[in-house]
Amino acid sequence: MHTRHQMDILHHSTDGYVGTCCSCGRFQVAFGTSMFQIHEDMLRGLLHELAEDERYCAERVDPRTKCFVYDVGSECVRMVLNHTEVVRLRSMLSDALWMQGIMEEVGSEPK
């Protein structure tokens, strides 16, 4: 079971958490009622989509309408968000990637 693998937590807040699995390196993202595990390239792709939707749709949609649909690496599950959630998830994921960068820098320092 993946959920029992050890994780490096990159971000944790009332919205959820983001961590990386110590054995396979995939990102584990918990947000709202969903939790999904994706590779870094997919996470970056998702972050890009979120950033675009955050920018282009801000004035055109009711922030509470669930109208943003995202692929989370599964054939039968999609994540559906409203604009407020798009903003929150985008900030959570960019935070996590920033933290990952810091941790990699610290880890690569000569001892």
Beta bridge partner(s), residue 30? 17, 35
DSSP code of residue 89: H
Measured from the CB of residue 23, what is the shortest distance to Zn ion in angstroms? 5
What residue ranges bind Zn ion (CB under 5 A)?
2, 5, 21, 23-24
- To Zn ion, the closest distance from the beta carbon of 7 in angstroms equals 8
Q: Give the N- to C-terminal CA distance of the chain in Å, as an integer.
A: 34
* CA separation, residue 28 to residues 24, 69, 93 (Å): 11, 19, 11
Query: Smallest distance, Å, CB 10 to Zn ion?
Result: 15
- The rounded distance, in Å, linking the Cα atoms of 78 and 61 is 20
Q: Give 5 or 12: the residue with its C-beta nearer to Zn ion.
A: 5
For Zn ion, give the closer residue by CB, 21 or 42: 21
Residues 6+ apart with CB under 8 A from 33: none
Measured from the CB atom, is 21 or 67 closer to Zn ion?
A: 21
Nearer to Zn ion, 6 or 14 (CB): 6
How near is the Cβ of 28 to Zn ion at its closest, in Å? 8
